[in-house]
A and B are shown apart, each in its own frame.
Chain A
Amino acid sequence: MLGFVLRRIAMAVPVILILIIFSFVLMRAAPGGPFTKERALPPVVLENINAKYGLDDPLLVQIGTYLKNIIFHFDFGPSFVYQDRTVNQIIADGFPVTLTYGFWAFVLAVLIGGALGIAAALKQNTWMDYLAVGFSIGAQALPNFIMAPILVLVFTLWLSWLPGGGWWGGPGDPNSYTSYLVMPVIALATSYLASIARLTRSSMLEVLNSNFIRTARAKGLPDRTIVLKHTLKPALIPVISYLGPAFVGMITGSVVVDMFLSTGGIGKDFVQAALNRDYSVIMGITILVGMLTILFNLLVDVLYAWIDPRIRY
């Protein structure tokens, strides 16, 4: 097992390297650049800027410098658009935000989605099943860019319970920490919750209908033991393989949540950077997401082995 983990970590290095080079080249291949504006910059001014940021060097030199700065100084460079801030600062400002609401959204989605799925599977073809399935289809069909404005309308304008967006500003803030979390968490969790519920349901049903469960029933085992001990664990495998990437997706934020609820997370920074051609910010966040994805896929693989003893690496 340890050998497997170490091998996977070693493999991550070339993967990240390829990711960096790929993104770097792709980004530069896109038309326009960070300083392409409605108001064209005079060539001299553009030259000065390119010189300042090293954008006039050959692409290979640029990649080399970029990698060198990351490896030796852990420096992801300055933002070309938000010039007061470095990429390190942008990630340090935004990632804790998305990590927080993403984590809680994950918890909510897993708990409620999981419970719904299990309940639906155990009471298949009853009102509970229809309710759970209906709810999850509805939740999936309601995109978060519709959800977010509705939440603001209900919680801020009608009920006056929550601030209409923003993020907790420290002890001096008139609103509580939780009050800023509620809407982002709900908006982000909903569609994940729906997927988890449906995935859990179908996977549970499959296991419940399998031979060894029938045997267990025939043996006269109580329902409790059958469900908790024999069904849940194998049924979780497909759910867990979904949860790994889903967790990364959630903690690196959602552009919709960040934009509609003004949370200041990196989900928006990422998309905006792509539109702005803010090369260094795109690279920084891509690398972050890439590393997290590798890490959590590894975690999922380890969890497999723990859940299902037949899986060995």
Chain B
Amino acid sequence: MNITIKAALLGTAFALASPALAAGTHPETGEALADDQTYTYRNLDDIKSFDPQINTDVEGSHVLRDLFEGLVSSDPKGEPVPGAAEGWEVSEDGLTYTFSLRDAKWSNGDPVTAGDFVYAWRRLADPATASEYAWYVELMGVENASKVVAGEAAPDALGVTAIDDKTLEVKIDDPRPYFPSMLTHASTFPVNQKVIEEHGNNWTKPGNLVGNGAYVLTDYVPGVKIVRERNDMYWNNDETILEKVVALVINDENIALTRYDAGEVDKTEVPAGQYPALKEKLPDETYSTPRSCSYIYMFNLRENGPEALKDVRVRKALSYALNRDVIVDSILKGGQYPSYNWTHQKTAGFEMPDIDYANWTQAERMAKAKELLEEAGYGPGGKPLELTLNYNTSEAHKKIAIAASQMWKQALGAQITLANFEWKVHLDKMRNGDFGMARYAWCGDYNEPSTYTDLFTSTSGHNNGKYSNPEYDTLAKAAKTSDNPAEEYKQMEQILAEDMPIVPVYQYTNVIMVKPDVKGYPFDDLMNNIYSRRMYKVAE
């Protein structure tokens, strides 16, 4: 049989089969789709709320991205793409954004209007809502946001206006080139005023909840599962492939893995330390992908902080003497990035600065650390270096803290007392400046370096060590209007490396297992913004 005939026969076979398979193949890739398009994944815990303006947690945001659609979504790489808005225009001065909404419907058939966004954003800022994420409107810089949140102006003073049903105008106080990517945040999603007023606090219950996303909430058993199913009213419903998305609450990561092995869930997290073994056993299902969070030890630089830490040489010595490779390769073992800077290195628009000590060998760092410490008059032959390191209860934090204190002891002769606190106590101590060194981690709100760099400005509410450098503050301000903010960010990171208000430890990865028949998972998205409507299951 020659090739042409084979091809012809194959062609006929396809032609014959295609009517039956029409619903069974992926429109773009042509892959055969599984009959059962149900995707089940593990949730560490119950989500806090289905209300976009109330929810505070990451896992809740995954659900909300399915149930609602903001003006802007992100593509599988994490780049902003039109969502409920077809497109947008920015004024010359960068202060006014005009969004044109597409024709879309709520899951109850109502049209989605610009007014729905106005309502949602005012609701977010309104003191009566008392949203924990009210600060996000301020962060976006929406005109009058601070005044509204503080109760000094009525919610309708907020700089967001419905020009007509399909046109939304947003005024912001300072240019923010990354403003559209901030709108992928769940707190900016629209809500249906009619539904909220009809059901009050119960509006988020399955059956009551009305959204404009690709899925509707069909079942919620607290502490057990969250089920969402295809929303036929969604404007792009034709392209949705997964019929049903189920989140199962499984607190224990090892049980979650057992249930993954048993085929009960399609995606779960890899238990700490098991990545290398699982990667070897199941290479096609085990992934380590960057995640926008940065792990550090923060120094307390306040007046009441330890005397030794006021000396930059001591801070540098501590940072240099920490062997990140050991922490990453021997303790975490999940492909995390050893860190010598603050901003997650994979953040969009961030260029890694050339930080001196990052390029040294560990032996060089050690030598330098000893030298600096001696200069500062501490260590062998000088004053003893005695410090306390606070961390919150967690096996991983404990292991890292023990390793770090050993490294500091061996390299610098430092006496580090480890202090373990329950989570809320740890936070309380940090807030009150009752610490010497403290474990801290920050996860980016949006995919742009300022979500990190702003934290160490002197006015930042999260800057618990009270680090302050006017030059840094100036650069932070300049970055907002700069044509090439990557330059400012680089300089800011250099300043941090020079002043060393923190010990960067590592940058996060998502270490997960995903069944091989699940396609379209956004592995490349640093923000881990999952949209179930882009995922599908292929026939095995």
**B250 at interface, CB cutoff 8 A:** yes
Assess the A83–B51 pair: CB atoms within 8 A: yes
Q: How far is the CA of A265 from the CA of B223 in the complex (A)?
A: 8
The residues of A that contact B422 with a CB separation of less than 8 Å are 275
The residues of A that contact B132 with a CB separation of less than 8 Å are 35, 37, 41, 45, 49
* Residue interface mask A16-35, B partner, CB < 8 A = 1: 00000000000000111101
Q: How far is the CA of A268 from the CA of B50 in the complex (A)?
A: 20
Assess the B223–A52 pair: CB atoms within 8 A: no
Q: How many A-B residue pairs have CB under 8 A?
A: 156
Q: How far is the CA of A258 from the CA of B259 in the complex (A)?
A: 16
The residues of A that contact B250 with a CB separation of less than 8 Å are 164-165, 262
CB distance from B281 to the nearest CB of A (A): 15
The residues of B that contact A157 with a CB separation of less than 8 Å are 258-259, 261-262
Q: How far is the CA of A165 from the CA of B224 in the complex (A)?
A: 8
Assess the A166–B248 pair: CB atoms within 8 A: yes
Which of B51, B146, B262 touches A164 (beta carbons < 8 Å)?
B262
List CB contacts (< 8 Å) of B48-62 with chain A.
48-51, 54, 56
**B128 at interface, CB cutoff 8 A:** yes
* Residue interface mask A89-101, B partner, CB < 8 A = 1: 0100110000000
**A82 at interface, CB cutoff 8 A:** yes
Assess the B51–A166 pair: CB atoms within 8 A: no
CB distance from A296 to the nearest CB of B (A): 25
| CB-based nearest A residue for B149 | A44
Assess the A36–B431 pair: CB atoms within 8 A: yes
**A224 at interface, CB cutoff 8 A:** no
Q: How far is the CA of A52 from the CA of B201 in the complex (A)?
A: 14
Which of B49, B252, B427 touches A260 (beta carbons < 8 Å)?
B252
| CB-based nearest B residue for A33 | B424
The residues of A that contact B462 with a CB separation of less than 8 Å are 39-40
**A264 at interface, CB cutoff 8 A:** yes
Assess the A164–B264 pair: CB atoms within 8 A: yes
**A69 at interface, CB cutoff 8 A:** no
The residues of A that contact B441 with a CB separation of less than 8 Å are 38
**B157 at interface, CB cutoff 8 A:** no
Assess the A48–B134 pair: CB atoms within 8 A: yes
Assess the B431–A165 pair: CB atoms within 8 A: no
List CB contacts (< 8 Å) of B417-455 with chain A.
422-425, 427-429, 431, 440-442
**B151 at interface, CB cutoff 8 A:** yes
**B225 at interface, CB cutoff 8 A:** yes
| CB-based nearest B residue for A85 | B222
Q: A82-B49, A265-B223, A269-B223 are in contact. Are A152 and B259 (CB under 8 A)?
A: yes
Q: A37-B132, A260-B251, A264-B223 are in contact. Are A48 and B46 (CB under 8 A)?
A: no
| CB-based nearest B residue for A148 | B255
Q: How far is the CA of A43 from the CA of B135 in the complex (A)?
A: 10
Assess the B223–A258 pair: CB atoms within 8 A: yes
Q: How far is the CA of A157 from the CA of B255 in the complex (A)?
A: 10
Assess the A32–B425 pair: CB atoms within 8 A: yes
**B478 at interface, CB cutoff 8 A:** no
* Residue interface mask A148-181, B partner, CB < 8 A = 1: 1100110011001001111101000000000000
The residues of A that contact B461 with a CB separation of less than 8 Å are 40-43
The residues of A that contact B46 with a CB separation of less than 8 Å are 82
Residues of B in contact (CB 8 Å), total 55
Q: How far is the CA of A43 from the CA of B150 in the complex (A)?
A: 9
Assess the B224–A166 pair: CB atoms within 8 A: yes
CB distance from A66 to the nearest CB of B (A): 19
| CB-based nearest B residue for A157 | B262
Assess the A84–B50 pair: CB atoms within 8 A: yes
CB distance from B224 to the nearest CB of A (A): 4
CB distance from A188 to the nearest CB of B (A): 16
Assess the B138–A48 pair: CB atoms within 8 A: no
* Residue interface mask A272-285, B partner, CB < 8 A = 1: 10011100000000
The residues of A that contact B423 with a CB separation of less than 8 Å are 32, 275
Assess the A264–B252 pair: CB atoms within 8 A: no
Residues of A in contact (CB 8 Å), total 57
CB distance from B501 to the nearest CB of A (A): 17
CB distance from A222 to the nearest CB of B (A): 52
The residues of A that contact B135 with a CB separation of less than 8 Å are 41-42, 45
The residues of A that contact B255 with a CB separation of less than 8 Å are 148-149, 152, 164-165, 260-261
List CB contacts (< 8 Å) of B254-301 with chain A.
254-255, 258-259, 261-262, 264
The residues of A that contact B25 with a CB separation of less than 8 Å are none
Q: How far is the CA of A262 from the CA of B255 in the complex (A)?
A: 10
* Residue interface mask B8-21, A partner, CB < 8 A = 1: 00000000000000
Q: How far is the CA of A163 from the CA of B258 in the complex (A)?
A: 11
Assess the B259–A37 pair: CB atoms within 8 A: no
Assess the B223–A31 pair: CB atoms within 8 A: no
| CB-based nearest B residue for A82 | B48
**B349 at interface, CB cutoff 8 A:** no
The residues of B that contact A33 with a CB separation of less than 8 Å are 424
| CB-based nearest A residue for B460 | A40
Q: How far is the CA of A227 from the CA of B366 in the complex (A)?
A: 77
Q: A45-B135, A83-B54 are in contact. Are A268 and B223 (CB under 8 A)?
A: yes
**B331 at interface, CB cutoff 8 A:** no
Q: How far is the CA of A269 from the CA of B45 in the complex (A)?
A: 11
List CB contacts (< 8 Å) of A76-126 with chain B.
78, 81-86, 90, 93-94
Which of A35, A48, A262 touches B224 (beta carbons < 8 Å)?
A262
Assess the B224–A167 pair: CB atoms within 8 A: yes
| CB-based nearest B residue for A167 | B224
**B221 at interface, CB cutoff 8 A:** yes
**A51 at interface, CB cutoff 8 A:** yes
* Residue interface mask A47-64, B partner, CB < 8 A = 1: 011011100000000000
Q: How far is the CA of A167 from the CA of B46 in the complex (A)?
A: 14
Assess the A262–B424 pair: CB atoms within 8 A: no
Assess the A262–B248 pair: CB atoms within 8 A: yes
The residues of A that contact B261 with a CB separation of less than 8 Å are 157
**A287 at interface, CB cutoff 8 A:** no
Binding site for A on B (CB under 8 A): 45-46, 48-51, 54, 56, 127-128, 130-132, 134-135, 138, 146, 149-151, 201, 204-205, 219, 221-225, 248-252, 254-255, 258-259, 261-262, 264, 422-425, 427-429, 431, 440-442, 461-462, 464
Q: A260-B251, A262-B224 are in contact. List 6 more A-B contacts (CB 8 A).
A: A32-B425, A33-B424, A48-B151, A51-B130, A84-B201, A259-B252
- A sample of 22 cross-chain residue pairs with beta-carbon separation below 8 angstroms, ordered by A number, consists of A37-B427, A38-B440, A45-B131, A51-B130, A82-B222, A83-B49, A84-B204, A85-B222, A93-B222, A93-B223, A152-B259, A156-B262, A157-B258, A160-B262, A165-B250, A165-B259, A167-B221, A167-B224, A263-B224, A265-B223, A268-B251, A275-B422
7 tightest A-B CB contacts, nearest first: A32-B424, A264-B223, A52-B130, A164-B259, A264-B224, A259-B251, A48-B127
Binding site for B on A (CB under 8 A): 30-33, 35-45, 48-49, 51-53, 78, 81-86, 90, 93-94, 148-149, 152-153, 156-157, 160, 163-167, 169, 258-265, 268-269, 272, 275-277
